[in-house]
Every structure is written in structure tokens, then in C-alpha cells.
Amino acid sequence: MKVSRSRIVASGLTNCCPNCSSRTLFVKGSLFQLNKSCPVCGLQFERDEGFFLGSMSLNYGVTIFVFLVPVLSLYLAGFYSGTVAAVLAGAGAIIFPVLFYRASRSWWLMSYYFFLPQHLPANRIDLIIGEDANT
């Protein structure tokens, strides 16, 4: 493989293209708009309709375990009142996913190509007629 799993992870953690490692995942000057494809190597970021539903699930999961569970734990431990916990949880449930949006998109691409590195254009091999590319 030309693109190793460690390079895929490094690209995912830095919001870079998993194929060529250029910083082109998001539209320049935009916080939330993902490029349809990499301007440098042409890798299409959204493989199929609904591909990034996984990033939304990742975002929700990280929000729950990194933010909401600690808020609940601190409330149950008696560090603050129920009103404070409700306000923190409500505000955090809106603000944290927005702040984590870019990372969740990048991490989802990273996890997809980490487990299926042969789907990257740089790692593709020539197939024999009748052979499946998913093997």
C-alpha cells in the first residue's frame, strides 16, 4: 500500500485528505462546508448518499460520553444543582456538536479508510476480470 494506516490516522486527526494528505477537506473560509472532492488528488469525500451519517453518530456519541456523562456525574456527586446541570447539559448539547463537527467528519473518513485502505485511489490494485474490489 502506498498510503499506510498510520498516515490515514495522521490525516484524519489533522483534517487532511486521507489519500494525498493535503489540507483540503473543508472549503477554504468556511467552517462547515465539506469539499465534494479533494482539489489536489480528486478523491470524492462523500462516497454514497448518506455516507456521513456515520460522522453524525460519531458526533452524538462523543457529545454524550465526553460532555453529557461528566455533567450528569458531577450533578449526581453534588457539585452543582439540578438547574445548573440542566443548563449546562442543554447548552453543551448544542454547542459541543457544533464545535466537534469538523473533527467528526474527518474522523469518520479516517475510520472508513483505516478499515478499508484498499478503497483509496493511491492503494488501488488492478483487478482480474470478475474479481471483487472489496476483498
Residue 89 lies in a domain: yes
Full domain range(s) for residue 78: 5-123
- Find the mean pLDDT for residues 55-80: 94
133: in domain: no
Return the pLDDT at 132: 62
**Within a domain: residue 68?**
yes
Q: Is residue 134 part of a domain?
A: no
- Report yes or no on 131 lying in a domain: no
**Domain count along the chain:** 1
84-107 tens-digit pLDDT: 999 999 999 999 999 999 999 999
Contact 114, 5 (CB under 8 A): yes
User: Does 100 map to a domain?
Assistant: yes
Flag whether 130 is in a domain. Answer: no
pLDDT of res. 1: 67
Q: What is the dihedral of CA 124, 42, 54, 114, to 10 degrees?
A: 40
